Amino acid sequence: MALAHFNDTNFSAEVLSSTQPVVVDFWAPWCGPCRMVGPIVEELSNEYAGKVKVGKLNVDESPQTAGRYGIMSIPTIVFFKGGKIMGQVVGALGKAELKRKIDETL
């Protein structure tokens, strides 16, 4: 499964109504740490295919959703299960740390 792309229009259907846990990377193209985390998030989307939906939401293109979840710093990665926030991390984390957080959400 490829990396999902979330936005203000599809967020409710793709994330909140998902039957799978969802990992959302709130990011922006101008953010250096976001660009460091991006390839890791993409790798994880392939590793967890079929178990966890992993995707990105550009905060500049989807300000309503970013605002609704109080995203003040990016990258922020939020873990959803059953439409509820199960956890979140702010800042650039390594792959091992992100995997541990995803596994805690499962």
CA distance 96 to 26: 19
Phi first, then psi, for residue 16 (nearest 5°) are -70, -30
6, 104, 25, 13: which is closest to 64 by C-alpha? 6
- Considering the candidates 24, 34, 44, 54, report the single residue annotated as catalytic: 34
95 is catalytic: no
Count of C-beta atoms within a 10 Å radius of residue 93: 18
CA distance 80 to 61: 21
CA distance 82 to 90: 21
- Considering the candidates 15, 22, 31, 78, report the single residue annotated as catalytic: 31
94 is catalytic: no
The residues assigned a catalytic role are 31, 34
